Amino acid sequence: MQIDGGFRGYLGELSESTRHLWRLAVPLLLFTVVFAAWVLIRPANQATVEAVDEAFSVLGPLAGVFLCFDSAFWPRLRRELTTPRAVARVLASSAVPIALGLGIFLFTLGEAGWVFYEYVLNQPQPFPSWCDAAFLAAYPFLLLGILQLARSSTSTASRAEVVLDSVTIMIAMVTFSWYFVLGPNLFQAKDSLMAVCVGTAYPLFDIVLVGCVLMLWVRGSDPALRPAMTILALGLSVIVVTDSVFDWLNLHNAYQSPALVDVGWPLGYMLVGLGCRAALPALRCIDSTPDVVRNGSGVARAAMPLRSLWRTASWRALLPYCAIPFMLALLGYVWIMGPRTDNRLDVGVYVGMLAFIAFVALRQLIATLENGALSRQLGISLEQAQRLHESERAARKAAEAAATMRDRVLAAASHDLRTPLTTIMNQLERIQLRLKRGHGVEPDWLAKQVETASGASDRMLAIVEEITDAVRLQAGKELTLNLCRVDFSVLVESTVSMVRAASTWPGAPAIELATGGELWVEGDPARLGRVIQNLVGNAVKYSPLGTPITVETRAEGPWATTVVSDRGVGIPADEVPRLCTHFFRASTAVGIPGTGIGLAGSYQIVQQHGGQTAIESALGQGTTVTVRLPLCIEL
């Protein structure tokens, strides 16, 4: 597939961005390793370790904020700060990095608030507080950025499938979280209702984000966005795991700061920022990529092999069903453990199971409807393909028939040319032999030999001109006519005399001529003579021995009319309309020499003179051909 220069530049940009991405990832990994080593080794006193822990917790997400924007964003924003509409256009085109960056910034703001309470106010952070508001406000922006990323890389139908599959997986995740984390936290907490709601909101938001990103990653059709989807899914998975571990530790009063779990939040948000940076080149180029390459749903979609695409789509479509064994295992675990004192956890599992079954059934119903639509489309496509195949087969047969007819015509033409050529050669050899022997050449004898050779050359010239005219007419070009006033009766009479002179074999058909006086027409004498010669010659050729042929010329209103009739083999009625087609020969002409171009050429010559040709024939009874040419208007 041809890829233009813009797309090559796009691929080059992706390659360069990949190298740049690794250059950014290495410092983040070193930061995480140093942070984890600091928490595990604790090389200083408790106060210093906690202070450094808080610093790492703020600096890591802050680095994620700067990762969301590359060096080209800020200069562009400054250039466009001219009108509110221009600023809105820049913000709309950068919706993904802005939304993700704001989400990470709000989380950083919450961490900074935590540090403010601990080291400036020297008091424990209340729960809930404005820091929790910042933490929770980060999730909608993260979700908005992820949905904008999906909007850039998938079609409307794909996004609908993503939503349905995401909800199915999220129901399974929420059911698990309800039984092991959310439910126990909710029912064992002694805090206020607001504190319980805030504490429950954290894992719920995490589950929503992970469900969306997971489905976007496995259902994404854009290869250029796949690395970004993977990094985002990994980052948010780290965040949700960290939140879950933190909730479990708090539930069992086992969390003590600093702890290794503190490393998870900076790592997760740095990975989110890195994933956003990985998506920037594809987001900038996705609108400028040619449709033939992008195909409306992703860069280089058309370049993906069909087998690979089918395999990838197959296992992705089965992903929501992979949660079924885990849900059944959870249900079995609940039954084995037996009813609890507070059976609300068990009821939550049953409700989650019913909701999961309902969404799986809904998805199956939609899949069935889609399969039905696809089946109908496939049936239509197969029907169209069958029609195309049949038309192609018919065209192939027609081409083969035309090739066969062409070969027969060439063979017949070569035969017709060979006969007069042989005559010319024989006459020349006779003259040459007589001169070599020293015999005198009598004028009468020489004149006879020359006349015979001249007649043969005229026949050769007529055949060549006939073939040349046929080729020209088949190409859609008109013949060049040398027009002049011609007495059509005289032309017919002279042509008939010429055919009579050539038909001297025993039992040759007798040609009866009846003329109706002067019939002046405007035409090309050579080509009109060839028309009459073809018609009368065909009548002689296809007539049995001894049968008469009649040629009549007369005036019919504004027409000069010539009628040629024979009592020959005739032509089947269904073949008569095809007689004026080049290279066509009737089925009754088998075994009779001919090219199949004489009658077709005559028809078009008459038509170019403004005349008409009519053919009437009956099988075994003969054929009548009528030619009408417009008479000249007497001034």
Give the model confidence (pLDDT) of 568-609 as tens digits.
Answer: 888 888 777 777 766 666 666 666 666 667 777 788 888 888
pLDDT of residue 288: 47
Q: What tokens does 250 get?
A: 């708090």
Among residues 552, 571, 570, which one has the least CA distance to residue 561?
Answer: 552
pLDDT of residue 191: 60
In this prediction, residues 197-226 reach a mean pLDDT of 67
| 196 compared with 141, residue with greater pLDDT | 141
Whole-number percent of the chain with pLDDT over 90: 7
In this prediction, residues 338-355 reach a mean pLDDT of 80
Q: How many CA atoms lie within 13 A of 269 on its CB side?
A: 32
What distance in Å separates the CA atoms of residue 342 and residue 179, rounded to the nearest whole number?
Answer: 12
In this prediction, residues 97-104 reach a mean pLDDT of 88
Among residues 324, 166, 182, which one has the least CA distance to residue 236?
Answer: 166
pLDDT of residue 246: 81
Q: What is the mean pLDDT of the chain?
A: 77
| 588 compared with 430, residue with greater pLDDT | 430
| 615 compared with 11, residue with greater pLDDT | 615
**What pLDDT band is residue 627 in, cutting at 50, 70 and 90?**
very high
For the ranges 159-173, 209-223, 368-382, 594-608, the maximum mean pLDDT occurs at 368-382
Among residues 602, 603, 608, 610, which one has the least CA distance to residue 629?
Answer: 610
Q: What tokens does 133 get?
A: 């508001």
CB 478 within 8 A of CB 608: yes
Identify the DSSP state of 478. P
Cα-based angle 598, 602, 607 (whole degrees, multiple of 5): 155
In this prediction, residues 535-561 reach a mean pLDDT of 87
Among residues 530, 551, 552, which one has the least CA distance to residue 598?
Answer: 530
pLDDT of residue 593: 62
What distance in Å separates the CA atoms of residue 353 and residue 49, rounded to the nearest whole number?
Answer: 45
What distance in Å separates the CA atoms of residue 243 and residue 206, rounded to the nearest whole number?
Answer: 8
In angstroms, the Cα distances linking 119 to 14, 133, 399 are 44, 20, 92
What distance in Å separates the CA atoms of residue 273 and residue 503, rounded to the nearest whole number?
Answer: 100
Q: Give the H/E segment covering residue 379.
A: helix 344-436
CB 239 within 8 A of CB 269: yes
Instruction: Count the residues in the chain.
Output: 635
pLDDT of residue 481: 82
pLDDT of residue 297: 40
Q: Is 212 exposed, middle or buried (0-12, 13-18, 19+ CB in 10 A)?
A: buried
**What pLDDT band is residue 267 in, cutting at 50, 70 and 90?**
very high
**What pLDDT band is residue 454 in, cutting at 50, 70 and 90?**
confident
Other CB atoms within 10 A of residue 455 CB: 17
In this prediction, residues 17-35 reach a mean pLDDT of 85
Q: What are the tens digits of pLDDT across the range 376-391?
A: 888 898 899 999 989 9
| 453 compared with 304, residue with greater pLDDT | 453
Q: What are the tens digits of pLDDT across the range 469-492?
A: 776 766 667 777 888 999 989 888
Among residues 86, 89, 88, 93, which one has the least CA distance to residue 69?
Answer: 93
Decide if pLDDT at 612 tops 80. yes
Annotate 560-572 with three-state secondary structure: EEEEEECCCCCCC
For the ranges 106-120, 177-191, 218-232, the maximum mean pLDDT occurs at 106-120
Residue appearing with tokens 């053919």:
615
Other CB atoms within 10 A of residue 451 CB: 11
What distance in Å separates the CA atoms of residue 162 and residue 150, rounded to the nearest whole number?
Answer: 9
Buried b (16+ CB within 10 A) or exposed e, 160-196: ebbebbbbbbbbbbbbbbbbbbbbbbbeeeeeeeeeb
Q: Give the H/E segment covering residue 521.
A: strand 520-523
Q: Which of 167-171, 353-357, 501-505 has the lowest mean pLDDT?
A: 501-505
What distance in Å separates the CA atoms of residue 297 and residue 554, rounded to the nearest whole number?
Answer: 76
CB 317 within 8 A of CB 158: no
**What pLDDT band is residue 131 in, cutting at 50, 70 and 90?**
confident
What distance in Å separates the CA atoms of residue 515 and residue 562, rounded to the nearest whole number?
Answer: 9
**What pLDDT band is residue 300 in, cutting at 50, 70 and 90?**
very low
Residue appearing with tokens 């929501």:
320
Helices and strands per DSSP (H, E), number in the chain: 19, 7
| 547 compared with 464, residue with greater pLDDT | 547
Is residue 279 helix, strand or coil? helix
Among residues 452, 465, 431, which one has the least CA distance to residue 502?
Answer: 452
pLDDT of residue 562: 92
Q: Which of 21-25, 466-470, 491-495 has the lowest mean pLDDT?
A: 466-470
In this prediction, residues 393-407 reach a mean pLDDT of 78
**What pLDDT band is residue 285 in, cutting at 50, 70 and 90?**
low
What distance in Å separates the CA atoms of residue 573 and residue 587, rounded to the nearest whole number?
Answer: 11
Residue appearing with tokens 């007689």:
579
Q: What tokens does 620 get?
A: 């075994």
Decide if pLDDT at 628 tops 90. yes
* 295 conformational bin, left if phi > 0, alpha if psi -120 to 50, beta if neither: left
pLDDT of residue 370: 75
